[in-house]
Copies of this chain bind each other. A is one copy, B any other.
Amino acid sequence: MAEGEFSLIDQYFARPAKSTPKDSVVLGIGDDAAVLQIPQDHQLVQTMDTLVAGRHFPDATTAEDIAYKSLAVNVSDLAAMAATPWSFLLSLTLPELDHDFLRRFSAGLFSAAEQFSIQLVGGDTCKGPLSISIQANGLVKAGEYVSRQGARVGDRIMVSGRLGAAALGLSAILGDGEVDDAAEYLTALNRPIPRLDLIPLLRKYASAAIDISDGLCSDLGHILEQSGVGAVIHQQALPVPEWIRQYDQYQYALAGGDDYQIVFTVPEHNLVSFQQEVTASGLDIAEIGLITESDYWLQSENGKIDLTQYQGFNHFGQ
Copies of this chain, count: 2
Task: Say yes or no: is A6 at the interface (Cβ < 8 Å to chain B).
Answer: yes
The interface-forming segment of A142-150, A179-187, A233-241, A297-305 is A142-150
Task: Say yes or no: is A288 at the interface (Cβ < 8 Å to chain B).
Answer: no
Which residues of B sit under 8 angstroms from A47, Cβ to Cβ? 1, 32-34, 89, 122
Q: Taking A30-B226, A32-B80, A44-B35 as contacts, is the C-beta distance between A97 and B219 under 8 angstroms?
A: no
Task: Say yes or no: is A2 at the interface (Cβ < 8 Å to chain B).
Answer: yes
Task: Say yes or no: is A127 at the interface (Cβ < 8 Å to chain B).
Answer: yes
Which residues of B sit under 8 angstroms from A83, Cβ to Cβ? 33
Task: Say yes or no: is A93 at the interface (Cβ < 8 Å to chain B).
Answer: yes
The interface-forming segment of A132-140, A165-173, A265-273 is A132-140
Q: Measured between C-beta atoms, what is the minimum distance from A174 to chain B in Å?
A: 17
Residue of B nearest to A5 (CB): B315
Query: Are the CB atoms of B32 and A210 closer together than 8 Å?
Result: yes
Query: Are the CB atoms of A314 and B4 closer together than 8 Å?
Result: yes
Task: Say yes or no: is A17 at the interface (Cβ < 8 Å to chain B).
Answer: no
Task: Say yes or no: is A256 at the interface (Cβ < 8 Å to chain B).
Answer: no
Task: Say yes or no: is A245 at the interface (Cβ < 8 Å to chain B).
Answer: no
Q: Taking A48-B91, A124-B50 as contacts, is the C-beta distance between A97 and B316 under 8 angstroms?
A: yes
Q: Specify which of B26, B140, B209, B315 is in contact with A35 (CB 8 Å cutoff).
A: B140
Task: Say yes or no: is A158 at the interface (Cβ < 8 Å to chain B).
Answer: no
Task: Say yes or no: is A309 at the interface (Cβ < 8 Å to chain B).
Answer: no
Query: Are the CB atoms of B38 and A93 closer together than 8 Å?
Result: no
Q: Specify which of B4, B8, B123 is in contact with A312 (CB 8 Å cutoff).
A: B4
Q: List 21 A-B contacts (CB under 8 A).
A: A4-B213, A4-B313, A8-B316, A26-B43, A33-B45, A33-B77, A34-B46, A35-B45, A38-B43, A44-B44, A46-B122, A46-B137, A47-B89, A48-B135, A49-B124, A50-B93, A52-B129, A125-B315, A127-B315, A133-B133, A133-B135
Other A-B contacts than A46-B122, A47-B122, 6 sampled, CB-CB below 8 A, are A3-B312, A27-B145, A32-B209, A35-B45, A44-B44, A131-B131
Chain A interface (Cβ < 8 Å from any Cβ of B):
1-6, 8, 26-27, 30-38, 43-50, 52-56, 73, 77-78, 80-81, 83, 89-91, 93-94, 96-97, 121-129, 131, 133, 135, 137-138, 140, 142, 145, 147-149, 209-211, 213-214, 218-219, 222, 226, 257, 312-318
